[in-house]
Structure 1
């Protein structure tokens, strides 16, 4: 993890964070207690993928959730060893994702990224466990995926851009 902090004269303070998975977040804490959180594109560092603005109260609630104050996940040590570097993640497909309208087999996901789609949950909560190569991606579905962190980052790029 790489964290950098800088003063923004007349504005507040800026924090830039690069996570272990390669994601980049920029958080600006304004003097008026407002917080802007920017999710930057990993490939184009000056391009913003998304942004959210929180007031002081919202920021404190979000920070309590992230810090584990309201809920602390229980993950047994032997599970961590058994999973080793395997990561299971949920990915929601947005309408602008280039994979929308394409089949799993068409993108050759497992061969291209090394990751696996374990399940798909539709907007109406219909579940497809271990969807086959003929499954067609639609906007708003949530994918349950597994792989190593680098494989999942490649999968996200493939789903969003239609290529690596």
Structure 2
């Protein structure tokens, strides 16, 4: 199996491979431990056949199951180190669901709700990408926000977005 690995600055890594059944798997490995998996029939496809996201803990458990052993389990410190990326910027995607307190708030207002500075650098809305949204753009149900900031600020912002 041939793996293609690409650095995603501020995000992590993208690893792509084709399995024996001809299905392409794209893994986005975020610095914060989150993993996104996309399964495509062709590597040029825009829409995946299936996708899923795993937390850092779920990723560790899956890796252990795939290896068939609990020996040499990675320690939390190594994952924390990757997440911090030497305290540089962290980029993450935050889904806005129907119960989120962010719905119908402006980008500027949403950014101010976090105690530490975060920046909403893009909004994925249906099939559209709103890059560098102005402070007066309103956040809608179903939007996915691309957020930039330090790890603590991004995590706090994600938690705020989950509140009703």
TM range (shorter): 0.3 to 0.5
TM-score, normalised to structure 2, is 0.45
Find the structure with the greater CA-based Rg. 1
TM-score (ref. length: structure 1): 0.45
